[in-house]
Amino acid sequence: MAIERTFSIIKPDATRRNLTGRINAIFEENGLRIVAQKRIWMSRAQAKEFYKVHKDRPFYNDLVDFMVSGPVVVQVLEGENAVAKNRELMGATNPANAAPGTIRKLFAESIEANSVHGSDSPENAAIEIAYFFAGCEIVG
């Protein structure tokens, strides 16, 4: 397995409840290194662009409202098989279906306010990382 990078967001429901450290501990205890991280308050335009793949879904407008409702922590995680590893640590989109011990099972409030985002493929990881980070901000 190659060392890979993935993009992660700690969402507003989690920053509001001061869960950044507990979520980061799960990444680090499971072999993912946080090689870039910043706390930002996304603009509506940024959130709409980031989630544009979902623009025709019924939940899109609510999702954008949620993502701009408070600060988020955007991150680059690095490790073996990082994209799949992070998806495994996150758990299913709907916390009701998430496996025990996953971030969403532990912390998510709802299918929308589900605490974390993680890229779903290496190709999307590269696009999402480049959207939020300059190369010089990522230090492995």
Binding site for ligand IDP (CB under 6 A): 54, 59, 63, 93, 111-112, 114, 117, 120
Quote the CA–CA distance of 24 and 75 in Å, as a whole number.
10
CB proximity list for 4: less than 8 A, separation 6 or greater: 78, 79, 80, 81, 82, 83, 122, 125
Q: What is the b/e burial string over 105-119, where b = at least 16 CB atoms within 10 angstroms of the residue's CB?
A: bbbbeeebbbbbbbb
Specify whether 117 is catalytic.
yes
Q: How far is the CB of 136 from ligand IDP (least distance, A)?
A: 28
> From the candidates 24, 35, 117, 125, which is the catalytic residue?
117
Return the number of the residue (43 or 93) whose C-beta is nearest ligand IDP. Answer: 93
Return the number of the residue (33 or 60) whose C-beta is nearest ligand IDP. Answer: 60
Footprint of Mg ion on 72-131 (CB under 5 A): 120
Q: How far is the CB of 135 from ligand IDP (least distance, A)?
A: 25
CA distances from 66 to 30, 51, 75, 121 (A): 28, 12, 19, 24
Return the number of the residue (38 or 55) whose C-beta is nearest ligand IDP. Answer: 55
Q: How far is the CB of 11 from Mg ion (least distance, A)?
A: 12
Among all residues, which ones are annotated catalytic? Answer: 117
Residue ranges that bind Mg ion, judged by CB under 5 A: 120
